[in-house]
């Protein structure tokens, strides 16, 4: 019955935290500055939800993630006293989010799932970010779909329903795959099916497990290969 799988990306497909910490380390070496880069990476990610919420509430006009990331980054660099970096270098650092590395199972799992389903991103990342990420990491999407196309960030229902409409499937023929229960619950609310993939290291070694009720989602998998097994792909 499910025809297409839509994947959340940050945390679900790619390991943003270790990628961003590594990029910040290179940035620090290049510019001769030292800092607790893990804390800065976590702060950068932490700023993302409230920034999107400002867009969702209408306090900001539509603003894509590249620009939200840049606003947050400038604040964090300022607070850390890192102020003598050129605009081009800050821009390069900001695009670290285009260069995130996939989890070890992502490419192999997507390649199997693609045999059986249409596979797309459904991410709050903007189109160019997702396209550059896929190109670099070899993610074999059938197409790239972003909240940018709807001017509605997840968990707004417009994002989930807009994805189904573009793929020309009904909401129940579309399954969101995500490592985040909130995203999955909003997808279910919009009529989609939901597959929860645990990513216990997304927020680092001390991450607490998400609270999920037994049987809350259609599938629960430890990674994309396990999901492919369960879906017969």
- Residues near a second copy (CB under 8 A) are 66, 114, 118, 120, 126-128, 130-132, 134-135, 141-144, 148-149, 166-169
Select 2 or 221, whichever has its Cβ closest to a second copy. 2
Q: How far is the CB of 171 from a second copy (least distance, A)?
A: 15
In the bound state with a second copy, the residue whose beta carbon lies nearer, of 67 and 216, is 67
Give the torsion sign (CA, 19, 20, 23, 29). Answer: negative
Task: Return the number of the residue (9 or 126) whose C-beta is nearest a second copy.
Answer: 126
State the minimum distance, in angstroms, from the CB of residue 131 to a second copy: 4
Comparison of 106 and 120: residue with beta carbon closer to a second copy: 120
Query: What SS3 class is residue 219?
Result: strand
Kindly state the smallest distance separating residue 67's Cβ from a second copy, in Å.
Answer: 11
Of residues 31 and 136, the one with the C-beta less far from a second copy: 136
Q: Which residue has the tokens 């960030």?
A: 153
Q: Which is nearer to a second copy, 175 or 184 (CB)?
A: 175
Cα–Cα distances (Å) from 48 to 44, 81, 85, 113, in that order, read 7, 21, 22, 30
Least gap, CB of 212 to a second copy (angstroms): 31
The rounded distance, in Å, linking the Cα atoms of 18 and 150 is: 30
Token pair of 155 as six digits: 């968990």
Closest CA to 126 of 105, 108, 148: 148
Tokens of residue 80, six digits: 């850390």
Cβ of residue 64: shortest distance to a second copy, in angstroms? 9
Instruction: Answer for the pair 152, 161: CB distance below 8 angstroms, yes or no.
Output: no
For the chain, what is the largest distance between any 2 Cα atoms, rounded to a whole number of angstroms?
56
Distances (CA, A) of 64 to 11, 55, 85, 129: 19, 9, 23, 10
């Amino acid at each position: 019955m499910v025809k297409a799988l839509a994947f959340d990306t940050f945390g679900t497909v790619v390991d943003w935290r270790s990628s961003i910490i590594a990029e910040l380390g290179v940035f620090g070496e290049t510019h001769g500055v030292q800092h607790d880069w893990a804390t800065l990476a976590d702060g950068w990610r932490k700023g993302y939800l409230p920034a999107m919420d400002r867009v969702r509430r209408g306090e900001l006009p539509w603003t894509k993630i590249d620009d939200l990331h840049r606003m947050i980054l400038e604040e964090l660099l300022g607070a850390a006293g890192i102020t003598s970096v050129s605009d081009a270098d800050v821009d390069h650092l900001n695009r670290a989010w285009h260069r995130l590395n996939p989890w070890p199972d992502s490419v192999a799992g997507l390649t199997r799932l693609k045999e059986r389903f249409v596979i797309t991103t459904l991410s709050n990342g903007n189109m160019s970010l997702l396209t550059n990420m896929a190109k670099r990491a070899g993610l074999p999407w059938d197409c790239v779909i972003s909240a940018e196309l709807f001017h509605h960030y997840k968990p707004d229902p417009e994002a989930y329903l807009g994805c189904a409409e573009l793929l020309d499937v009904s909401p129940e023929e579309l399954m969101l795959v995500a490592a985040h229960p909130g995203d999955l619950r909003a997808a279910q609310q919009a009529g989609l099916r939901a597959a929860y993939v645990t990513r216990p290291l997304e927020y680092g070694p001390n991450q607490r497990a998400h609270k999920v009720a037994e049987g809350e989602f259609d599938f629960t998998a430890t990674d994309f290969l396990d999901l492919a097994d369960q879906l017969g792909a």
